[in-house]
Structure formats: C-alpha cells, structure tokens
C-alpha cells in the first residue's frame, strides 16, 4: 500500500513478505522498488480503512455497548461487567481474536486495567490478560515505541538511551516531563496503570438493553418478528420496574458474517406497551427502502431503549382528552415510524412580521404539546382574510407591463404563462425587511391583494420602493420586480 | 286478512312512506354547511364518517384549498385535523399558510401536516390517520391524475372513515374525476367578489361550488361564501342567486346553437 505525503509516495502499509524483504513503513516507493523490484503496489484508501474499522466496531457491539474507535487501526472495548457473559476475560479475548482472524484480519488484542496499558500491550504482546495492578511489570519490558507517542518523542527517548518503557519509568517523572512534555508523562502514567484516560464510546450508552442470542442463526421473518415481540416484553418489564417508558428504541440485527443493521424508531410519548413497540417496528421494517437482509442469518438481536422518560400515570377512563391525546400521538408515531419523523409536522408561530418566517414547522413527535398551546395572532373580526391561505416558499416572479402610478398596483400581470387582468385591488401593505438582522440587501415590499377577472385572488408584491430603493448608482429609477407570494381562498 | 298479512302491509307502507318522505327532511347527525339550499339538497349537510371529494382545475388551487379547508372546519370543529399532501404540491400551489388558515377561522393549533413522498405513501398515511378516532377530519391532497387512486383505494378510505367516524376529504387539483365511492363530489372554482367599487370590494372568500355527485340525493350548483368569523358557509350577501343557476334549467344547448347558425 502506498500513500502520497507531501509530494512523495511513501509506503503506507506492508505485508509480512515485504518485511522479510527488508522494507519498512514510511520508505519512499522508489527506494522500496530498488530493494525489491517485484513489489506489488496498491493505493491506500484511508476512508475505506475507517469504514472497515467502523464495521468491526459495529460487530464488537455484541460484546459491550461501550466501543470506542482508536484510529487508524485500533478499537477500545470497555468490558467492565461484560466478560462473565462470555466465560471470562480470557475466553472473551479468544473469541474476539478467533472471530476476527477467521475473517482475514491480523488481530492483536489484550486486556488490561487501563485502556492505554491494553493498547501498549497489543503492539508487542498480543493475547495477554493483565490483572489490575500488574500493568507496570507487564509493559515494563516493551520498547518505548509501543506507547504510541509522537514519533519525535520516541526517537528522543531512544537517543537518550531509554529503550524500554521500564527504563523510562525508572527515571523521575519531572525529568521526563521537562524533556518530553507533560502529555507524555500522562500517557506513560496511564500505560503503567496509574490513572486512566476515559474512552469516548461511539454511541451513548442506552438506558436499557435486552438481547437474544441464537446458537443457530435465524433468518425467517416470523422468527425475527417473534423475537422482537418477546424482547419488547422483556424490555417493557424492565422499564416498568422503574416507572419509565421509551422515547427512542433501537433494534440491532447482528448477522453471522459480521454485518450489523441497526433500526431506530422514535416516539412522541414514552412507550409502555410491548404491542406498541412491536407495531412501530413492524411499520418501520415494512417501509425500509432496503429491506432487512438476513444473509446467512442473524445470531444476535438486540433491543435497546436509547432514551427513556418517567411515565406519569394519568386517569384514563374518565378524562377523554387524555385518551384522545394518547391516540393522536400514537397515530403520529406510527406514521413517523414509516415515513420519517421530519415529514409529520406541527406548526408554531414565530415572532416575525416577514410572511415566510411567521411560522415554524417542527416534528410533531416532539412538539405536539407545544403546538397545541401555541398562541397565534388573533384574526380581526369582520375583516376578510388578510393573509393568503397558500404561501409560496419562494415568491414566484410575475411579469407586469406597467403600473399607472409608480407606487400603484398593476393592471394586469402574467403568472405561469397566463395573463391575469386585475379587477380589484386592496393595498398596498408595506412590509419592511428585518434590516437589523441582515446586511440591508433585502428591499421593502409593497403587498397588494388583487382579484383577477375570474375571481381568483392573489397576494402580489413589488420588491423595492421607487423613491429610494429602486435606483441605480446614478440615481436613475430602475424597473421593479414583481412577485406573486400567495393565493387567497 | 290475517295478522301476518296486516303486519307485512304495515311494514311495506312504512317503507313506502320512508321513500316518499320529502327530501328536505334532515338526516340525523349531518353537519350543516350553513348554505341553506345546499344543506337542503344534502339533507341537512355533509355526512360525517364518509369520503368527500373536491376537484379543481390546476390554476384554482387557492379556491379549492379554501373550500376544502371550509369543509374541514365544519366537520372537525375543535378536533384535530390531519392534512396529508405530496412533496411537490408545495411548489405547485404553495405551502399551507398557518396565518391564512387562522384568517379563515380555523385553528392552526389543531393541525398536523404530513408530507408524503408519493401517492402510495400519501394514501397509506391517510388510511392510517383515518383509523384514529380522536381526529375530526383527514384531508388528503393529491395533485394531478393518480393511477393509484382507483376504486379500490377510495373504497379503502371510505371503509376506514366509516370504521372510525372520521371524515375523509380528498382534494384533487388538476385531476379528472374517475369513479369512486365518495359520498359527495364537488367541483370548485373561485367566484367574483360582489360588484362594487373596484378599490374597496374585497369581501369574504367566495366559491362557485358545483355538486356533481351526491349518493343520496340530487345535485346542484351554488355560489358559496365563507364566513370567516362564524366559520361556516353562507349564501352570497349581495349577489342574486340566478347567476349560478343549475345547468339543467338552461335552454337546450342544441337549440341555442341552431339559432346561432341561423343568425350567422
């Protein structure tokens, strides 16, 4: 593998045969060819590497929910409290190493009390399980390059004659800090089991997880559906003990070949009924563009409640509005599960006099309560509608031949290739743009409500005022642009 | 004459009486639109828990939206309303404006809008929403002719509406009417404001609504005015009614054409 670095083509990764031939990573390709003319070269693809690492991390989710990436080639798994499920730490390590080796990856793995110690071990002493407190003696004999510090630091240490981590550790910490910086001292401390750097897991830890493993992979829809409903029951039972309901649910399907498919549904209200979870997932699975592909089968299905909320029990039988609200949010959840939460919206008023900014569309799942309590401007009794029923997101330009008075309404206009003769006019209603927010580029609009000969009613506006805005550099008037912004009923 | 025959005769007389009952007799639980003659033809008003269709030409989107919003406002007073529409109907006719809805006297707080990617997903969503009995009405807005919206689809919507009691309103803009199971079908276009001074005569929204199909009664054609404050339709205030007489009352078309040919 080669990669381009500052206009030089360097070796990026090499295999064992190349190592035997005397090549090393970082060597220029020209030099490498001189050493070994029959070298086979491929371009490195860091994006694909990262994707593969992510895929492996997905697969590792089966062991613990806390998986962190350590790019470019490493993964941290926090297996606190998980190892016993797989027959102990050593057995777990063996499972990981065997499974990944079978898939053709070169694996080195280790278990230690701190993440940095484990990483240091993987570089030179794969397959070790170090008990808590024994880190210092385990990493002591390893060369300093195992720490994974900055190359300059590693070279500096070697030049100083400190070849192993034990050598470095035997010096007083302040000497090391003074020469190589405090960061390195911290790293060294972590490697020796003194303190730990927290790992940053890829996903937040779900509040509840239930899962089912299968000795024989399953592939039929019926079994998958049955598994999901039994998992839903277990999950709800677990949540019920603490009076909680799920707001976000994720079902993960682990395929035997390592691929993992995660499907998420969100709900507007905490879900407390297994049938509801079941139904939401059924809707979601039905609507998937690329259906769940079991391949050779799933060997693990997991259901996790990502976000939960305490359920407030309400009297259901007597208060019909509570019942109705429940029904509506259940309906919204169902539709959102199928077509996506962003497509189901409620509307909130915004404090803006600009017509297109007067309302905000927000996902109904999360804002239903806010929307039903919103305060919309009251209509003026006795007045005909002042605002159009349908509003174009982007005002559509119309052709206006002339207006009798400069600031007046047009007599006719062409919109969408049809000529409309203006019969009735109301206006102008002058709406200035928000000059305190923008750079002053937006022009003041004069809105007219017009009715054409057929009785259709439009909301049209002229962009700009003749007296001061519609002038070119020399102060001469320029023609105004007209737009239709909405349709009245 | 024995007892059985008397009973049969009585029940037959009863059914004849029911058939011959004046059509103006209001049906139970109909929702009055407010327009007296339209309500009379509809036997008291719009039937809830049924499918009603509104058709309009492509450029009459504003009027059609206003009319169907009026129907929705009548049938779902103080109950939530779900409005399902296609993605591109926003570009064709503009997005539904909440301020505009409030100006018509409807409550934007009770509106949930769903944007469907295509007709299939719109139909499915509408059927889903119709199953929720807490709603007042479901509006499904479909632009142009849709192959999917056949007799089967409209039957599904009707059944869903009957099962839950929610009224289904189907807005078809730029579409040709095809057979359906709808209770009523309207063709709507904008109507002129009443004659008067050009600069001051903006009044309430007016529609020229033609009832072209009515499963349980005759059809008709009216000018309807929407009263924003009362949230109901009414007879036009300043227009004499004959302007929008039903087409059946017009002189025969062939005669008129013959006369025209003679004259020319």
Query: What pLDDT, in 10s, does the model give residues A177-220?
Result: 888 888 888 888 888 888 777 888 888 888 888 989 888 888 88
B157-174 mean pLDDT: 93
Is the CB of B131 less than 8 angstroms away from the CB of A331? yes
A8: its two tokens: 């030089």
Is residue B105 classed as helix, strand or coil in its secondary structure? coil
Please report the pLDDT score of residue A347 as a whole number.
92
Residue A282 main-chain phi, psi, to 5 deg: -65, -45
Q: Is the pLDDT of residue A3 over 70?
A: no
Interchain pair A455, B191: CB under 8 A: yes
Q: What does DSSP say about strands B51-56 and B167-173: parallel, antiparallel, or unpaired?
A: parallel
Confidence of residue B77 (pLDDT cuts 50, 70, 90): confident
C-alpha span between B74 and A320 (Å, rounded)? 22
- Give the pLDDT confidence score for residue B253 in this predicted structure: 44
A315-324, A372-381, B171-180, range with greatest mean pLDDT: B171-180
Beta carbons of B95 and A371 less than 8 Å apart? no
Percent of chain B clearing pLDDT 90 (strictly above): 42
Selecting from B82, B94, B190 the residue whose C-beta is nearest the C-beta of A457 gives B190
A-chain residues near B188 (CB < 8 A) = none
Mean of pLDDT values over A18-28: 81
ipTM of the predicted structure? 0.79
Give the list of residues 6+ apart from residue A173 with CB closer than 8 angstroms, or none. A185, A189
By the CB < 8 Å criterion, does B189 face chain A? yes
Confidence category of residue A320, pLDDT binned at 50, 70, 90: low
Q: Judge: A388–B203 Cβ closer than 8 Å, yes or no.
A: no
Per-residue pLDDT, B26 = 55
Asked which of A90-99, A469-478, B105-114, B252-261 is least confident by mean pLDDT, the reply is: B252-261
Q: Which residue has the tokens 């743009």?
A: A433
Q: Which residues of B touch A486 (CB under 8 A)?
A: 94, 97, 100
**Interface with A, mutate which of B97, B123, B129 (most A CBs under 10 A):** B97
Compute the mean pLDDT over every residue in chain A, rounded to the nearest whole number: 84
DSSP structural state of residue A28: B
**pLDDT tens digits for range A267-315:** 888 888 888 898 888 888 888 877 888 888 898 899 999 888 888 765 5
Domain ranges of chain A: 2-35, 46-191, 208-312, 390-487
DSSP letters for A53-100: HHHHHHHHTTT-S-EEEETTTEEEE--TTTGGGGTSHHHHHHHHHHHH
What was the pLDDT predicted at A220?
Answer: 87
Res. B212 pLDDT band, cuts 50 70 90: very high
What mean pLDDT do residues A402-426 have? 84
The candidate with the shortest Cα–Cα distance to B36, out of B234, B241, B245, is B234
Which residue of A345, A366, A450, A455 is the best one to mutate when testing the B interface, meaning the one whose CB has the most B CBs within 10 A? A455
Q: Residue B124: its chain A contacts at CB < 8 A?
A: 338
Q: What are the two backbone dihedrals, phi and then psi, of residue A304, each rounded to the nearest 5 degrees? A: -125, 140
Q: Please state the rounded mean pLDDT for residues A96-113.
A: 87
Rounded Cα gap, residues B22 and B6, in angstroms: 26
Closest Cα of chain B to A321: distance in Å? Answer: 9
For residue A272, the 8-state DSSP code is -
**CATH H-level, domain A208-312: superfamily:** DNA polymerase, Y-family, little finger domain (3.30.1490.100)
Beta carbons of B168 and B161 less than 8 angstroms apart: yes
Which residues in chain A are contacts of B91 at CB distance < 8 A?
Answer: 393
Partner-chain contact B98 A381, CB within 8 Å = no
* B13 close to A (CB below 8 A): no
The pLDDT score that the predictor gives to residue B130 is: 92
**pLDDT digits 0-9 by tens, B100-116:** 999 898 899 999 999 99
Residue B167: the pLDDT is 94
Percent of chain A scoring above 90 in pLDDT: 11
Q: What percent of chain B has pLDDT over 70?
A: 82
CATH 3.40.50.300 fits B24-263, yes or no: yes
Joined tokens for residue A325:
């609200």
For residue A237, what are the CA distances in angstroms to A209, A245, A263, A281? 12, 10, 21, 18
Residues 6+ apart with CB under 8 A from A380: A386
**Given CB atoms, is B235 within the 8 Å cutoff of chain A?**
no
Nearest CA in chain B to A452: B192
A344-358 per-position pLDDT tens digit: 999 999 888 888 888
Give start and end residues of each alpha helix (H) in A270-385: 274-286, 320-339, 364-372
**CB contact B99 to A (< 8 Å):** yes
Inform me whether the pLDDT recorded for B54 exceeds 90.
yes
Nearest to B192 among A323, A455, A486 (CB): A455
């Amino acid at each position: 593998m080669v990669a381009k670095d500052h206009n030089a083509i360097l070796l990026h990764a090499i295999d064992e045969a190349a190592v035997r031939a005397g090549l090393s990573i970082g060597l220029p390709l020209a030099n490498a060819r001189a050493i070994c003319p029959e070298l086979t070269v491929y371009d490195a693809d860091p994006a694909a590497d990262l994707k593969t690492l992510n895929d492996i991390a997905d697969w590792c989710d089966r062991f613990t929910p806390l998986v962190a990436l350590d790019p470019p080639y490493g993964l941290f798994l926090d297996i606190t409290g998980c190892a016993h499920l797989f027959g102990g730490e050593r057995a777990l390590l063996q499972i990981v190493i065997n499974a990944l080796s079978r898939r053709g990856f070169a694996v080195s793995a280790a278990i230690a009390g701190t993440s940095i110690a484990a990483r240091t071990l993987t570089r030179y002493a794969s397959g070790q399980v170090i008990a808590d407190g024994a880190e210092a003696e385990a990493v002591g004999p390893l060369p300093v390059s195992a720490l994974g510090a900055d190359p300059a630091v590693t070279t500096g240490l070697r030049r100083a004659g400190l070849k192993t981590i034990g050598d470095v550790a035997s010096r007083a910490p302040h000497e090391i800090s003074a020469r190589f910086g405090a960061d390195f001292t911290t790293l060294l401390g972590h490697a020796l089991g003194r303190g730990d750097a927290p790992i940053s897991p890829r996903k937040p830890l779900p509040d509840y997880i239930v899962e089912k493993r299968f000795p024989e992979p399953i592939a039929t829809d019926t079994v998958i559906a049955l598994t999901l409903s039994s998992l839903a029951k277990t999950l709800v039972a677990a949540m019920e003990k603490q009076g909680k309901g799920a707001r976000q649910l994720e079902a993960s399907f682990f395929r035997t070949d390592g691929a993992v498919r995660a499907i998420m549904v969100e709900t507007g209200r905490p879900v407390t009924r297994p049938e509801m979870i079941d139904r939401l997932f059924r809707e979601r699975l039905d609507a998937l563009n690329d259906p769940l592909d079991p391949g050779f089968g799933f060997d693990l299905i997991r259901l996790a409640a990502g976000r939960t909320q305490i359920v407030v029990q309400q009297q259901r039988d007597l208060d019909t509005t509570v019942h109705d609200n429940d029904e509506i949010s259940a309906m919204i959840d169902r539709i959102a599960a199928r077509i996506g939460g962003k497509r189901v919206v409620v509307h909130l008023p915004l404090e803006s006099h600009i017509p297109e900014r007067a309302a905000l569309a927000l996902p109904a799942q999360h804002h239903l309560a806010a929307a039903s309590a919103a305060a919309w401007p009251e209509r003026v009794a006795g007045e005909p509608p002042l605002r159009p029923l349908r509003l174009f997101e982007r005002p559509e330009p119309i052709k206006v031949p002339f207006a009798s008075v400069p600031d007046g309404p047009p007599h006719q206009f062409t919109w969408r290739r049809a000529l409309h003769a203006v019969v009735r006019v109301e206006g102008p209603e002058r709406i200035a743009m928000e000059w305190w927010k923008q750079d002053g580029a937006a022009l003041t609009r004069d809105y007219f409500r017009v009715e054409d000969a057929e009785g259709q009613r439009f909301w049209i506006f002229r962009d700009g005022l003749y007296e001061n805005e519609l002038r070119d550099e020399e102060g001469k008037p320029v023609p105004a642009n007209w737009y239709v912004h909405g349709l009245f009923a | 004459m024995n007892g059985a025959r008397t009973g049969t005769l009585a029940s037959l007389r009863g059914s004849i009486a029911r058939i011959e009952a004046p059509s103006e007799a209001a049906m139970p639980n109909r929702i009055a639109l407010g327009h007296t003659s339209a309500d009379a033809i509809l036997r008291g008003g719009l039937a809830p828990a049924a499918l009603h269709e509104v058709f309009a030409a492509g450029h009459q989107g504003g009027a059609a939206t206003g009319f169907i919003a009026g129907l929705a406002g009548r049938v779902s007073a103080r109950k939530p309303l779900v409005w399902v529409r296609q993605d591109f109907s926003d570009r064709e006719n503009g997005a539904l404006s909440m301020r505009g809805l409030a100006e018509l006297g409807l409550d934007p707080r009770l509106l949930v809008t769903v944007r469907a990617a295509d007709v299939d997903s719109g139909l499915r969503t509408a059927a889903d929403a119709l199953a929720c009995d807490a709603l007042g009405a479901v509006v499904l807005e479909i632009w142009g002719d849709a192959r999917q919206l056949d007799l089967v689809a409209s039957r599904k919507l009707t059944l869903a509406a009957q099962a839950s009691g929610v009224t289904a309103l189907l807005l078809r803009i730029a579409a040709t009417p095809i057979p359906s199971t709808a209770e009523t079908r309207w063709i709507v276009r904008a109507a002129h404001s009443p004659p008067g001074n050009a600069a001051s005569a903006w009044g309430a929204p007016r529609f020229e609504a033609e009832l072209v199909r009515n499963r349980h009664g005759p059809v008709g054609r009216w000018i309807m005015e929407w009263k924003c404050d009362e949230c109901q339709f009414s007879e036009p205030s300043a227009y004499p009614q004959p302007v929008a007489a039903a087409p059946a009352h017009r002189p025969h078309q062939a005669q008129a054409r013959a006369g025209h040919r003679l004259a020319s």
